[in-house]
Structure 1
Amino acid sequence: MTSRDHFVLTKAFHSSGDVIADRRAGYARMLAEGGDHAAAADLMTQALEITPDWAAGWDLLGLYCEKAGDVSGAISAWRHLEALDDNGVFGAGLKLAAHGAGIASDGTAVSYVEALFDQYAPQFERALVDRLGYRVPEMLDDLVQAEMTRLGIESFARALDLGCGTGLMGEKLRAKAAYLEGIDISAAMIAETARKGIYDSLQKAELVATLNGRRADADLVTAADVFIYCGALQPVLAALVPALQPGGLVAFSLEAHDGPEPLFLRPSLRYAHGIDATRDALVLAGLEILRFETAVLRFDRGAPITGMLIVVRKPPLELNAANDGQSDGGDVAA
């Protein structure tokens, strides 16, 4: 099961407002669950002839066409969806871009990601950990612990877990941080993790906007499988670096690809980043690369998804001061 599959949940099955159209959509769903996606698409087409303004119905038709191998039919359905979904909740633009029928945005599709994880929240951990072999929080925590040992860091005063989800990363960080904050775009995810009592504070917010409003107070920031929904890395780093204390660490994961493009939108609607482009972006942001490893992050449709596990550091204040001193001395000597 993939994130694309998860999105066709509660919102997609809201009533069309017509009993006959709803009945046909229900039959279509049963056919799709049985693997007959072509027949499901035919029934959804009939339903949409009755209710042509049903955005969720066009989303379902696109999904069924895609799974039946009818990419042109899926693209047509998503074009109808895009015209009806002003807020972008169904991610029509992303779906079109992933199939070469549009241009992907460089930033987060906020409405889509929020709706996706609001619906995904109740089954999030079971799907990721049990079905998809997800181990990113554990792997990132191992890297953070190794750097703590190497740098002589006993604990962090204030840690910030971006895209905290249901707290899988937070569970690893709790013993390492005196104060642990969680931020997530999904209210349902926040509600799930609040029950666990892991974090000292939780906030529903879009991460770039939140980081832009912070002072430099975090000495650890984590983002486990979060930036894969954010698009270009540079705007995220530009907001993140000022929120870090000098010497602060950032640990995060990205999906990787080997192509020449710095950014690639997968059919899963997650972004994959180029390895060399990622290194360049980190250096350009003024961050010191401490760890940069590739690993299998999870499985998707039975195939391993290779990604990057990264730990970087904002230069310590004393290094900046030392450099300033050297510069001043040089000017005087000149």
Structure 2
Amino acid sequence: MSRKPHTARTHARRAPLETALREAIGAHRSGRLNEAERRYRALLAAAPDQPDALHFLGVLLHQQGRREAALALIGRALAAAPGYVDARNNLGNVQKELGLADGAEQSFRAVLAARPEYAPAWNNLGVVLKAQNRGREAVEAYRRALALAPDFADCWANLGNALRALGDLQEAMTAYCKAIELAPQSIDAYHNLGQALVSSRRTAEALEVYRRWQAQQPDNPAIAHMIAAVGGDPAPGRASDAYVQTTFDRFASSFDEVLSSLDYRAPALCGALVAELAGAPQGLLDVLDAGCGTGLCAPILAPWARALDGVDLSPKMLEKAAARGGYRRLDAAELTAWLATHPASYDLVVSADTLCYFGALEDVSTAAACALRPGGLLVFTVEECAGDGAPPFRLNAHGRYSHGEAYARGVFKQAGLEVAALRRAVLRTELDAPVGGLVIGARRAA
């Protein structure tokens, strides 16, 4: 029997599916994500195991932050087509975002076993290795990627980050300069080059870098803040809302990984002082995580909480906090205004590593006192501005504020909060240097 009629029938069945896939991909590439999702799902209703539709729908859901669903869909694509290298690479990307570092590394290594010339997979492997504090291996992976793709700007920036974390500042700066040459709009490369120069005590050169960055992006609030931080303009009384939101929205996806590499201690230090001042946890307190970020304090504060709320300026950070869980509510808002509009609402307010984005503390301390019930407790950290003749507060070249002990005590006392405990501690480590701070507990009168 001739196979021609069967071939023709098969082609006739495939043609509408191929057309539907092209239309879905077109909507996806044009940014019409809702339309693209509808088209992918309609195609999968007709062909449930179509690997491209499964893969691209998974990519779309990943773009929308629906990562668990994305993981399942891309996994189905690979079940249907085990040799689908692009899908396996994107599976690794989703695993990385979900914190599944071992799985992500396995995925990227599987891609490279099949296609050792695939530069994006070498770059992605480097990102995962760096997140696991395997810096030397990450550098090697980035260099493999760049040998294959010398114009890979993001990989140059990633190489700079890995070298900087290892303390190789000169090589890091060379990598950042190459990233900027290839992608003059690169926000991260300018910022990180400036910070590497600051760490090398080349502040005047850092200011030049920030001025060049500002010429590329005159409306970027991060640049104005960093120019002030290195003395190019007068320091503001606090970081602007726009600076905080844009900075932490951009930082959200890698926030927990970066802080783990810095031996970040602020949440644990706050928890220890809460235990000292609030006593054994009984789950009876209304608690606010003020500047909650990705929710690192949630599991620490949960034993004391009848209800735990969080507030932060960054919607992207709040998405991470929601995924971590443990909160009754999460609000995207400026902290001072939010506190002032929730009077006598909390028994305990904790602010870990948030007041370093405030210089003057008068307004936020008054608002915190307002939000506390009588007898309520505020526990917070600030970086310490120490030494003879130190000012009440100072904007430092890294972009955060530090505060003097006498100023912090005085401003919270003026707000009606009596300091009950003050501890000096190392809040984190940056470039192998400890960042010293104060962990303070202050109580509102009963």
What TM-score do the two structures reach when normalised by structure 2? 0.58
Q: 1:186 aligns with which of 314, 318, 334?
A: 314
- C-alpha spacing 1:197/1:104, structure 2 compared with 1 (3 Å): same
Q: Does 1:221 align with 2:352?
A: no
SS at match of 2:419: strand
Residue matched to 2:414: 284
Residue correspondence of structure 1 range 47-196 to structure 2 within 5 A: 54=185, 56=187, 62=194, 71-82=203-214, 85=217, 87-89=219-221, 91-129=222-260, 131-149=261-279, 154-196=282-324
- Once the two structures are TM-superposed, the CA of residue 24 in structure 1 deviates from its matched residue by 8.4
- Once the two structures are TM-superposed, the CA of residue 153 in structure 1 deviates from its matched residue by 8.3
Contact 1:40–1:64, Cα closer than 8 Å, also in 2 = no
- C-alpha spacing 1:313/1:47, structure 2 compared with 1 (3 Å): same
Counterpart of 2:274, as a letter, is V
Contact 2:384–2:404, Cα closer than 8 Å, also in 1 = yes
Residue matched to 1:294: 424
Which fold has the larger relative contact order, with Cα–Cα distance below 8 Å and residues 6 or more apart in sequence?
A: 1
Residue matched to 2:121: none
Counterpart of 1:116, as a letter, is T
Q: Does 1:308 align with 2:443?
A: no
Structure holding more strand per residue: 1
Contact 2:180–2:186, Cα closer than 8 Å, also in 1 = no
Residue matched to 2:329: 201
- Once the two structures are TM-superposed, the CA of residue 199 in structure 1 deviates from its matched residue by 0.6
The separation in 1 between residues aligned to 2:226 and 2:330, in whole angstroms, is 31
CA RMSD of aligned residues (A): 3.0
Counterpart of 1:78, as a letter, is Y
Counterpart of 1:120, as a letter, is F
- C-alpha spacing 1:88/1:146, structure 2 compared with 1 (3 Å): same
Q: How many aligned residue pairs are there?
A: 288
Counterpart of 1:199, as a letter, is Y
Contact 1:28–1:44, Cα closer than 8 Å, also in 2 = yes
- C-alpha spacing 1:24/1:210, structure 2 compared with 1 (3 Å): same
SS at match of 2:324: coil
Q: Does 1:268 align with 2:405?
A: no
The farther-off stretch of 22-31 and 111-120 is 22-31
SS at match of 2:397: coil
Gaps of 5+ in 1: 1-5, 7-21, 317-334
- C-alpha spacing 1:226/1:65, structure 2 compared with 1 (3 Å): closer
Deviations along 1:308-331, whole A, 9 cap, x unmatched?
011111111xxxxxxxxxxxxxxx
Contact 1:156–1:176, Cα closer than 8 Å, also in 2 = yes
SS at match of 1:312: strand
Residue matched to 1:240: 368
Contact 2:267–2:352, Cα closer than 8 Å, also in 1 = yes
Residue matched to 1:256: 384
Contact 1:27–1:40, Cα closer than 8 Å, also in 2 = no
The separation in 1 between residues aligned to 2:306 and 2:365, in whole angstroms, is 24
Q: Does 1:36 align with 2:184?
A: no
- Once the two structures are TM-superposed, the CA of residue 178 in structure 1 deviates from its matched residue by 0.9
- Once the two structures are TM-superposed, the CA of residue 234 in structure 1 deviates from its matched residue by 1.2
The separation in 1 between residues aligned to 2:196 and 2:417, in whole angstroms, is 44
SS at match of 1:137: helix
The separation in 2 between residues aligned to 1:156 and 1:167, in whole angstroms, is 20
Contact 1:214–1:243, Cα closer than 8 Å, also in 2 = yes
The separation in 2 between residues aligned to 1:136 and 1:58, in whole angstroms, is 28
Gaps of 5+ in 2: 1-130, 132-149, 164-169
Contact 2:266–2:381, Cα closer than 8 Å, also in 1 = yes
Contact 1:109–1:230, Cα closer than 8 Å, also in 2 = no
Deviations along 1:276-330, whole A, 9 cap, x unmatched?
11111122212111111111111111111111011111111xxxxxxxxxxxxxx
Contact 1:24–1:43, Cα closer than 8 Å, also in 2 = no
- Once the two structures are TM-superposed, the CA of residue 184 in structure 1 deviates from its matched residue by 1.3
Residue matched to 2:340: 212
Counterpart of 2:425, as a letter, is A
Deviations along 1:8-37, whole A, 9 cap, x unmatched?
xxxxxxxxxxxxxx9585686477466535
The separation in 2 between residues aligned to 1:122 and 1:26, in whole angstroms, is 16
- Once the two structures are TM-superposed, the CA of residue 197 in structure 1 deviates from its matched residue by 2.1
Counterpart of 2:226, as a letter, is K
The farther-off stretch of 58-67 and 282-291 is 58-67
Contact 1:88–1:109, Cα closer than 8 Å, also in 2 = no
The farther-off stretch of 280-289 and 119-128 is 119-128
